Chain A
């Protein structure tokens, strides 16, 4: 009896392996299914705010970042800990494929944040803070924050992720001259407000 159960299970699994190839065409790229999805989700919506949503992200931006992980020029702590390894053996073709797939997915809807902080963040996003030499974010990221080519989509992104990136630009842990100049005079409260606005629906 016990033996029969085991044989049945094994036989079932063996049978299931047969039509695998037929299914894969309709599925996401193999790397996305087996690797990227573990943190970023099959559809590019990540569960943990430690990892960014990739759904609807600009393909050019995704390609640039994957190449920056691969050549280790993007070196913020999480890039080192997670993405240097992940991207190490990616080919240009697979980078293009992954980027195109995630760019085509429906973006994350965002999560509600406090009304006041969202309003304050919206003001910075749209108008900048001239007294602190902070330009309006929308001038590069678009008035809906959906990004444009090398400028990433920010709308609907995890709030802690956005906050961590701005902090990394300021500290130069994530080297980016433009974003360092734009963000270096922001206070922690202002960073929180910008992230609240961008991460909310």
Chain B
């Protein structure tokens, strides 16, 4: 879906680039990990797995680690002569639907792409903002899936959303003091979507957000840039009921790409509009410790990914850029029937090494992303959240589309360089990626599977500055968002 948006943008003038970028990550609708398909399969209410959807409880984390296979519905079964089960299918498929509708009000309309000097509509209404179909649950005894198809309003098409196919089982080494533990393998299309804590990017707050806002000029690779555009295979262990260890690797996925020579969906080459992970795979790692006591659950850990990528236009033997993300995260939950308190923190440090001349001013850049979130809910009915976010990084006029780079030719990192337009609104006049602010949200859940929310995002700095950040007079606060939504899954 998103790749297609980019592909179109490469073929049409700057106006389309602007629209495509505005619709691209990180402002694309994010899927839910909460699905009634799981409830249908387990016969257990949402509150077993979720504090308030989509945030997971300790039970929800275990359910996911066990490959979504726990079931309480009748099974269609087959066994072989050795009494080994060869089939175990749910009588009714764990299928469900998700619907989101929203209204967004921007602080100030963005420039009209067709009429110079005019502005777009300040309000944007979407119904649906996203419509998803899920298969979430058991496939076989130790095999389960979280599969999601989502209709996307920017392309008016249905596409692949988060996908996670996983195998899990239990084992123990009692003789050496290692009690029952879980081991598993996940095949997925979004780094950290396989994670069971809500302090990593894929399932982190905000769980839902406007897709019509102005996207910041950059974000870390692990912060959603590879979502639905990569495929990863990872293996994990959950030991002593505390320690989670996962290692794996990600490759670029051949989604929405047509190789002009074969006419098929691959192989990827320099005509791909997205940067391609080179080599076998980009290694991914995750280590976390969970400590639960009474009504409390605390976790902390690290995750990361190191990718060598070819920018669009560069062939396989050409130079690669290296992006290495090293991240820390933590989560705290207090869960009772009446009161639920959650706090999450994540910090991603990205090392960027540019071997391709012209993409960036410097051979080495860095980017820091930090988010701190707290939320409270009363009886899973009414509650609120607050998040403080910050992105900072090294100054790079070329990479961040400063107007001073207009003389240079368009590049993948700055497609509007030389044309003037994308730097307006989307670029950084001072070449800094600093984007900071806060999101506040109030939610009401008339039922466990329906959330009505009012969310306000305020930027103190956007793409480097509070005032005139793009060099065309736009202020950070003009990108503030008032977002009202309804989100239901059934």
Q: What is A's interface to B at a CB cutoff of 8 Å?
A: 2-3, 5-6, 9-10, 12-13, 16-17, 20, 23, 26-28, 33-35, 37-39, 42, 47-50, 77, 80-82, 84-89, 160
Pairwise interchain contact A35-B70, C-beta atoms closer than 8 A: yes
Closest 7 CB pairs of A and B: A85-B43, A81-B45, A85-B44, A3-B280, A88-B72, A38-B62, A9-B235
Residues in B399-458 with C-beta less than 8 Å from chain A: none
Pairwise interchain contact B281-A2, C-beta atoms closer than 8 A: yes
Q: Does any Cβ of A come within 8 Å of B179's Cβ?
A: yes
Pairwise interchain contact B172-A34, C-beta atoms closer than 8 A: no
Closest beta carbon of chain B to A12's beta carbon, Å: 8
Closest beta carbon of chain B to A37's beta carbon, Å: 8
Q: Does any Cβ of A come within 8 Å of B292's Cβ?
A: yes
CB nearest to B74 among chain A residues? A89
Pairwise interchain contact A49-B45, C-beta atoms closer than 8 A: no
Pairwise interchain contact A2-B280, C-beta atoms closer than 8 A: yes
In Å, the complex CA distance between A50 and B43 comes to 19
Pairwise interchain contact B292-A47, C-beta atoms closer than 8 A: yes
The answer to whether A2 and B283 touch (CB under 8 A), given A13-B183, A23-B174, A47-B292, is yes
Question: With contacts A2-B279, A50-B337 known, what are 8 further pairs, Cβ within 8 A?
Answer: A3-B280, A10-B185, A13-B235, A17-B171, A81-B44, A82-B48, A88-B43, A89-B71
Pairwise interchain contact A42-B43, C-beta atoms closer than 8 A: no
CB nearest to A6 among chain B residues? B249
Residue pairs across A and B with CB atoms within 8 Å: the count is 103
In Å, the complex CA distance between A50 and B58 comes to 12
Pairwise interchain contact B59-A38, C-beta atoms closer than 8 A: yes
Within 8 Å CB of B172, what residues of A? 23, 27
Within 8 Å CB of B169, what residues of A? 17, 20
The answer to whether A27 and B235 touch (CB under 8 A), given A6-B280, A38-B59, A48-B294, is no
CB nearest to B280 among chain A residues? A3
Q: What is B's interface to A at a CB cutoff of 8 Å?
A: 42-45, 47-48, 58-59, 62-63, 66, 70-74, 169-174, 179-180, 183, 185, 233, 235, 247-249, 279-283, 292-295, 335-337
Interface of A is mostly: helix
Pairwise interchain contact B171-A20, C-beta atoms closer than 8 A: yes
Pairwise interchain contact B44-A82, C-beta atoms closer than 8 A: yes
The answer to whether A6 and B248 touch (CB under 8 A), given A35-B70, A84-B43, A89-B72, is yes
Partner of B174, one of A26, A77, A160: A26
Pairwise interchain contact B183-A16, C-beta atoms closer than 8 A: yes
CB nearest to A23 among chain B residues? B172
The answer to whether A86 and B72 touch (CB under 8 A), given A23-B172, A48-B292, is yes
Closest beta carbon of chain A to B314's beta carbon, Å: 20
Closest beta carbon of chain B to A19's beta carbon, Å: 8
Closest beta carbon of chain A to B184's beta carbon, Å: 8
In Å, the complex CA distance between A84 and B44 comes to 7
Within 8 Å CB of B179, what residues of A? 42
The answer to whether A33 and B180 touch (CB under 8 A), given A3-B281, A20-B169, A47-B292, is yes
Within 8 Å CB of B335, what residues of A? 48, 50
Within 8 Å CB of B70, what residues of A? 34-35
Pairwise interchain contact B294-A9, C-beta atoms closer than 8 A: no
The answer to whether A6 and B233 touch (CB under 8 A), given A42-B179, A50-B337, is yes
Pairwise interchain contact B293-A47, C-beta atoms closer than 8 A: yes
In Å, the complex CA distance between A65 and B395 comes to 65
Within 8 Å CB of A23, what residues of B? 171-174
Closest beta carbon of chain B to A87's beta carbon, Å: 8
Within 8 Å CB of A42, what residues of B? 179-180
Closest beta carbon of chain A to B37's beta carbon, Å: 13
Within 8 Å CB of B337, what residues of A? 50, 77
Within 8 Å CB of A16, what residues of B? 171, 183
In Å, the complex CA distance between A37 and B62 comes to 10
In Å, the complex CA distance between A96 and B71 comes to 20
Pairwise interchain contact B183-A6, C-beta atoms closer than 8 A: no
In Å, the complex CA distance between A27 and B169 comes to 14
Pairwise interchain contact A5-B247, C-beta atoms closer than 8 A: yes
Pairwise interchain contact B180-A27, C-beta atoms closer than 8 A: yes
Closest beta carbon of chain B to A160's beta carbon, Å: 8
In Å, the complex CA distance between A85 and B195 comes to 25
In Å, the complex CA distance between A127 and B267 comes to 81
In Å, the complex CA distance between A119 and B335 comes to 30
In Å, the complex CA distance between A28 and B70 comes to 17
Within 8 Å CB of A17, what residues of B? 169, 171
Pairwise interchain contact B170-A34, C-beta atoms closer than 8 A: yes
In Å, the complex CA distance between A84 and B59 comes to 16
Within 8 Å CB of A3, what residues of B? 249, 280-281
CB nearest to B65 among chain A residues? A38
In Å, the complex CA distance between A13 and B74 comes to 30
Within 8 Å CB of A160, what residues of B? 336
Pairwise interchain contact B294-A47, C-beta atoms closer than 8 A: yes
Pairwise interchain contact A89-B183, C-beta atoms closer than 8 A: no
CB nearest to A18 among chain B residues? B171
CB nearest to A48 among chain B residues? B295
Within 8 Å CB of B295, what residues of A? 48-50
Closest beta carbon of chain B to A73's beta carbon, Å: 16
In Å, the complex CA distance between A160 and B293 comes to 14
Closest beta carbon of chain B to A65's beta carbon, Å: 16
